[in-house]
């Protein structure tokens, strides 16, 4: 069973996405902010990270960069946000972007692609 770390500060979105991923057969661990996600990712090594861009305490891309600096093999990531990040692509890790609002099937398709 593939393991996904979901990082989302909005409870309703976190619960909806968690349920959808679990129904697809994925094991899901959640974090509410970037610092919590960093700790979980370093300890548990998820196979995919799905993260919001704007998070408390540490943003999504900042968190992904911090993980990439500390692990030998960085998992791919799906960045979900209402606004496209205006940053240079960080080539230490692979990430795709999904705009909010999104439909759950589109999110699941992106997850399948990144897990392939």
Q: Nearest to residue 56, comparing CAs of 115, 10, 91?
A: 10
CATH number attached to the domain at 3-115: 3.40.50.2300
Alpha helices for the chain (secondary structure H): 11-23, 34-44, 60-70, 104-115
Give the chain's count of helices (H) and strands (E).
Answer: 4, 5
Q: What is the pTM of this model?
A: 0.93
Burial class, 103, CB count within 10 angstroms (exposed 0-12 / middle 13-18 / buried 19+): exposed
Q: Residue 93 pLDDT more than 90?
A: no
What does the domain layout of the chain look like in residue ranges?
3-115
Bridge partners of 52, per DSSP, are 80
Q: How confident is the model at residue 86 (pLDDT cuts 50, 70, 90)?
A: low
């Amino acid at each position: 069973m593939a393991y996904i770390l979901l990082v989302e500060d909005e409870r309703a979105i976190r619960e909806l996405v968690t349920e959808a991923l679990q129904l697809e057969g994925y094991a899901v661990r959640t974090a509410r902010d970037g610092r919590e996600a960093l700790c979980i990712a370093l300890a548990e090594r998820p196979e995919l990270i799905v993260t919001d861009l704007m998070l408390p305490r540490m943003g999504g891309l900042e968190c992904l960069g911090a993980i990439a600096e500390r692990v030998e093999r960085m998992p791919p990531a799906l960045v979900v946000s209402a606004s496209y990040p205006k940053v240079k692509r960080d080539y230490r890790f692979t990430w795709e972007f999904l705009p909010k609002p999104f439909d759950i099937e589109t999110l699941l398709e992106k997850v399948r692609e990144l897990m392939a």
